[in-house]
Amino acid sequence: MTPKTIGYNLSLMSAPRHSLRKTVLLRARRGDYASAGEIAIVASVSRQTANRWLLEAGINLAAARIKYLAKLYQFGQEYVGALSGAPRLTNEERRRQVIAAVRRLNAAQAKRAAKKH
């Protein structure tokens, strides 16, 4: 059976995606990779292809990596805090701390702005 007889024009069909593309991009979004070179090694593709995948998916590797490392840092701090016997903060306590920090920041900015005028 030829493509013409079944109604498909194979010249217009897109090429199949790389089998690891979806997985690699998912892990890149999480921040597991530090560079396109690492993606190239894992997926056995060229670095240019890895960069194209990142560009098409709209992934900023540096920002994703920093977010991932910040999350690891936070987990580490909580682990050390738990070892010291200090109780873990509840979500409500964290929310209160964030609100207090924002208020301090706003007050400091208002104070600086008042000095300029």
**Mean pLDDT rounded to a whole number for the chain:** 86
* Residue 9 belongs to some domain of the structure: no
* Residue 3 belongs to some domain of the structure: no
Q: Are residues 82 and 93 in the same domain?
A: no
For tokens 């400091």, the residue is 108
Its pTM stands at 0.58
Supply the range of the domain harboring residue 108: 89-117
Q: Are residues 101 and 59 in the same domain?
A: no
Q: Are residues 26 and 82 in the same domain?
A: yes
Q: Are residues 40 and 96 in the same domain?
A: no
**pLDDT for 46-102, tens place per residue?**
999 999 999 999 999 999 999 999 999 988 888 887 787 777 788 999 899 999 999
* Residue 2 belongs to some domain of the structure: no
For 75, the token pair is 């987990």
Q: Are residues 45 and 33 in the same domain?
A: yes
What is the DSSP secondary-structure string of 62-115? HHHHHHHHHHHHHHHHHHHHHHTTPPPPPHHHHHHHHHHHHHHHHHHHHHHHHH
* Residue 6 belongs to some domain of the structure: no
Q: Are residues 55 and 103 in the same domain?
A: no
Q: Are residues 63 and 79 in the same domain?
A: yes
* Residue 46 belongs to some domain of the structure: yes
Residue type, 86: A
Give the whole-angstrom CA distance, residue 36 versus residue 25. 11
What pLDDT, on the 0 to 100 scale, is given for residue 86? 72
Q: Is the pLDDT of residue 1 over 70?
A: no
What pLDDT, on the 0 to 100 scale, is given for residue 10? 52
**pLDDT for 5-20, tens place per residue?**
555 555 555 556 888 9
Q: Are residues 100 and 60 in the same domain?
A: no
- How many structural domains are present in the chain? 2
* Residue 4 belongs to some domain of the structure: no
